[in-house]
């Protein structure tokens, strides 16, 4: 099936607030996907779980057929640009997106291709 990312039964609560409940989806290599929903529905929480900044209460994050649920964020090779543009307001959108690739010391030609 060529799944590069598989989210299996992800659930997350903060106190009594169930933010995510049994979320399941997959992304195939080369696909572009979107997470859409109203404010407060758990989009950022899901992204933070995928990036490894927080752990799910239940479920698995599978990347390239490897369970990365408990893997430290620095070991995941996943970039995340937060929705608050004030993180690097002095940089262009291109520079913000390229930042993670550049600190991984990828060749500029590869960075240009990935960002474009």
45-60 confidence digits (pLDDT tens): 999 999 999 999 999 9
pTM of the model as a whole = 0.73
DSSP 55: -
The yes-or-no verdict on residue 80 having pLDDT over 80 is no
Token code pair at residue 3: 């799944």
**Structural domain containing residue 85:** 81-116
Question: Is the separation of the CB atoms in 56 and 22 below 8 Å?
Answer: no
45 and 65 together in one domain: yes
43 and 92 together in one domain: no
18 and 55 together in one domain: yes
3-class DSSP assignment, residue 63? strand
Q: Average pLDDT over the chain, rounded to whole? A: 89
Question: Is the separation of the CB atoms in 99 and 88 below 8 Å?
Answer: yes
Q: What is the CA radius of gyration of the chain?
A: 15
pLDDT band for position 86 (50/70/90)?
low
């Amino acid at each position: 099936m060529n799944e590069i990312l598989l989210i299996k039964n992800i659930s997350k609560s903060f106190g009594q607030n169930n933010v995510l409940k049994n979320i399941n989806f997959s992304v195939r290599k080369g696909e572009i996907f979107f997470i859409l929903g109203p404010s407060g529905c758990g989009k950022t929480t899901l992204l933070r779980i995928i990036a490894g900044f927080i752990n799910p209460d239940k479920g698995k994050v599978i990347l390239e057929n490897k369970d990365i649920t408990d893997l430290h964020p620095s070991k995941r090779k996943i970039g995340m640009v937060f929705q608050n543009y004030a993180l690097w307001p002095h940089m262009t959108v291109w520079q913000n997106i390229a930042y993670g690739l550049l600190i991984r010391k990828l060749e500029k030609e590869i960075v240009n291709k990935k960002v474009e």
